[in-house]
């Protein structure tokens, strides 16, 4: 039987001294892009649409944060049973195995470079490999309890966002908040209750933020939200919404009601030496002012 298309293609495999034929369309391995270098290092993206847009735009199918990546940098499409990558007139171009391309067929193991740091590997992987890789990435980036980003990832991402703000002249704001009297929650209700409170709090926060906002567990009961393109007053309005939602929410653990409030400090990024360090310090100072002022409030740092 001769193949008529890629979907009907047959591959030969030797099994116990005989030839077994397996339909390539029935293979369980699926096409993926694995990030080998750049902001999303270790993340694996499955390619399962007829068109996959890769870029920095928030609505891109595969969203990358590398400043050198265009908003709609490239796309992967199916053509004549093959997966092809096409550059979408990006500012810095697309390299396939170190060669600039406009359009090319993708083969297992191909390396794709976009922007200054992003390197992607095109590969086929089964569900087990995909889950393992995703687990490794999540462990490196996210806090296990709250699923917020960890401090290490935040520090790295903050540098990227500050560079973006400087280059494009756009605002950048930081919220820092912690749970008021959290030690009393642990002392009165136990550490399992404290964990439940933090996990539930994180769910409330994620339900309030935009997709482009970065939610971080900074340490213990202290959290941060990095807001791209948001001026100080709007960031403060977001902080107030968060404060009100937390105060109104009924936290419960094993039938016990746990009243909860947060204090929030908000600061704007300013283009100056050590700007990222200063931004964290300013937001942290505003947070302490909120706590010293009676807690359950929002304080802005205006410089």
Strand 262-268 and strand 298-300: the pairing is: parallel
Strand 94-96 and strand 99-101: the pairing is: antiparallel
Residue with tokens 């992987």: 125
Q: What's the alpha-carbon Rg for the chain, to the nearest Å?
A: 24
Nearest C-alpha neighbor of 10 from the set 244, 2, 205, 209? 2
Q: How would you list the strands of the sheet with 262-268, edge to edge?
A: 214-219, 222-228, 172-179, 262-268, 298-300
The active-site residue out of 39, 67, 161, 221 is 221
CA distances from 1 to 9, 21, 23 (A): 10, 11, 12
Whether residue 240 lies in the annotated active site: no
What DSSP line would sit under 31-93, residue for residue? Answer: EEEEEEESTTTT-EEE--SSEEEEESSTTSSEE---TTS-TT-EEEEEETTEEEEEE-S-SS-
Which stretches does DSSP call E strand in 144-240? Answer: 172-179, 214-219, 222-228
| Residues tagged active-site | 221
């Amino acid at each position: 039987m001769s193949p008529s298309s890629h979907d009907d293609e047959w591959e030969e495999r030797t099994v116990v001294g005989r030839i077994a034929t397996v339909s390539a369309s029935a293979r369980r391995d699926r096409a993926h892009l694995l990030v080998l270098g750049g902001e999303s290092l270790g993340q694996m993206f499955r390619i399962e649409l007829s068109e996959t847009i890769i870029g920095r735009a928030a609505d891109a199918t595969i969203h990358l944060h590398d400043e050198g990546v265009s908003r709609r940098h490239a796309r992967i499409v199916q053509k004549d049973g093959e997966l092809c990558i096409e550059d979408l007139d990006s500012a810095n171009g697309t390299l396939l195995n170190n060669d600039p391309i406009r359009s090319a067929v993708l083969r297992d193991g191909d390396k794709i470079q976009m922007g200054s740091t992003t390197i992607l590997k095109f590969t086929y992987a089964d569900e087990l490999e995909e889950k393992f890789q995703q687990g490794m990435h999540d462990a490196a980036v996210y806090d296990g309890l709250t699923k917020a980003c960890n401090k290490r990832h935040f520090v790295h991402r903050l540098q990227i966002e500050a560079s973006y703000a400087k280059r494009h002249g756009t605002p950048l704001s930081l919220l820092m908040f912690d749970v008021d009297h959290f030690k009393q929650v642990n002392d009165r209700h136990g550490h399992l209750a404290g964990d439940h409170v933090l996990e539930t709090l994180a769910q409330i926060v994620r339900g309030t933020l935009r997709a482009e906002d970065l939610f971080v567990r900074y340490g213990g009961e202290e959290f941060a939200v990095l807001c791209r393109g948001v001026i100080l007053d709007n960031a403060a309005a977001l902080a107030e919404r968060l404060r009100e939602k937390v105060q109104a929410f009924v936290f419960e653990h094993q039938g016990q009601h746990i009243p909860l409030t947060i204090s929030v400090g908000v600061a704007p990024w300013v283009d100056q030496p050590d700007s990222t360090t200063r931004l964290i310090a300013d937001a942290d100072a505003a947070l302490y002012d909120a706590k010293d002022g009676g807690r359950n409030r929002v304080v802005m740092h205006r410089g």
